[in-house]
Amino acid sequence: MANSEKPLLEVRDAVVHYGRIEALHGVSITVAEGELVTLLGSNGAGKTTLMRAISGLCPLSKGSIWFDGRDITKVKAYKRAIEGLVQAPEGRGVFPGMTVTENLEMGCYGRKFDSKAAHDERLDWIFTTFPRLAERRKQVGGTLSGGEQQMLAIGRALMARPRVLLLDEPSMGLAPMISSQIFGIIADINAQGTTVLLVEQNAQQALSRSDRAYILETGNVTREGPARQLLADDSVRAAYLGGA
């Protein structure tokens, strides 16, 4: 259940430039603890830029980013991850020569566990959440299918015990059945207490599983509201679901 009393993550009037080109024009969003929030928009809308700004990979020209009540605008990306703001990158980005288990272990680099028992418990939870990864724990990442690599990328991020999990296009390039499976896993992870900010083009799957959503168009937030409300909106359906 989402706690809407105060934002866990807040972006305030974010402006991002690539050279002279302004990619974000004062974007503001909030994510409360326990929520699953979707950023929806077409290619070039600024979704990935916003995620990179939140994770610390892309500096703001103006505005600020707040995490758990603290301004982290100037905090380096790796420190944000250590504090619990963790991204599973667009395009999966698994280590192809490492085994599934070795890839997962990389997820907790910098986020040390208090004990081996706590580490093993987390790893067991990942394998329970992703049974396919358990079956392939000794297989190298580069030989996995696209869907399995996506599961591995999410599992690796979860090994860092994120307070907010940032997911950028987790369904990209996946067959519909596998895509639906990935969305089901994301919803389960959220239901177990992990706050999720999701960038996605599959509006039907994303909105049907989210608490709230923002629509980005050319670097601006143009709509926001409860996900189910946006899913039922004729203009949103026409723009993102192929018809009213």
Domains of the chain, residue spans:
3-240
Is 3.40.50.300 the CATH number for 3-240?
A: yes
Lowest mean pLDDT of 68-77, 89-98, 180-189, 194-203, name the range. 89-98
pTM to 2 decimal places = 0.92
212-217 and 62-67 strand pairing: unpaired
Mean of per-residue pLDDT scores for the chain: 92
In the sheet that holds 70-71, the strands lie side by side as 21-33, 3-18, 62-67, 70-71
Please state the rounded mean pLDDT for residues 63-81. 97
pLDDT for the residue 52: 96
DSSP state of 99: B
**pLDDT tens-digit profile of 194-211?**
999 999 888 999 999 999
pLDDT for the residue 241: 77
Contact at 8 Å (CB) between 24 and 46?
Answer: yes
Tell me: pLDDT of 3 over 50.
no
Q: Of all residues in the chain, what percent carry a pLDDT higher than 90?
A: 82
Task: Output phi, psi for 30, to 5 deg.
Answer: -135, 150
